[in-house]
Amino acid sequence: MESDVSKKLLAGEQVELWPSTRGGKNWPHAAFNPETGLLYANTQHMASLYRFVPLEPFAAGMRYPNL
């Protein structure tokens, strides 16, 4: 099932995604303090704008995808 966001991307619209491909919580480790009940997590709060761009056919000697 497609989401509204994927439908917009496929229609050529630009979308904002949270977190970006570099954001969220993945690593390094989180730390929990049992005395305060707090969890400390290193996160990145960063969005990115995405849209599909047409790709040119591969050409030897050129960077691919040729953006």
Q: pTM (2 decimals)? A: 0.49
Our count of domains for the chain comes to 1
- For 3, list phi and psi in degrees, rounded to 5: -90, 170
Under a CB-based contact definition with an 8 Å cutoff, are residues 50 and 13 in contact?
A: no
What pLDDT does 25 receive? 60
Predicted pLDDT at 26: 61
In this prediction, residue 36 carries a pLDDT of 97
The whole-number pLDDT of residue 14 equals: 93
| Weakly modelled stretches of the chain, pLDDT under 50 | 66
Evaluate whether residue 24 is within a structural domain.
yes
How high is the pLDDT of residue 63? 76
Parent domain of 10: 4-50
- Residue 56 near residue 66, CB atoms below 8 Å: yes
Q: Is residue 60 part of a domain?
A: no
Assess if residue 64 is contained within a domain: no
Q: What percentage of the chain reaches a pLDDT higher than 90?
A: 24
Q: What is the pLDDT of residue 27?
A: 65
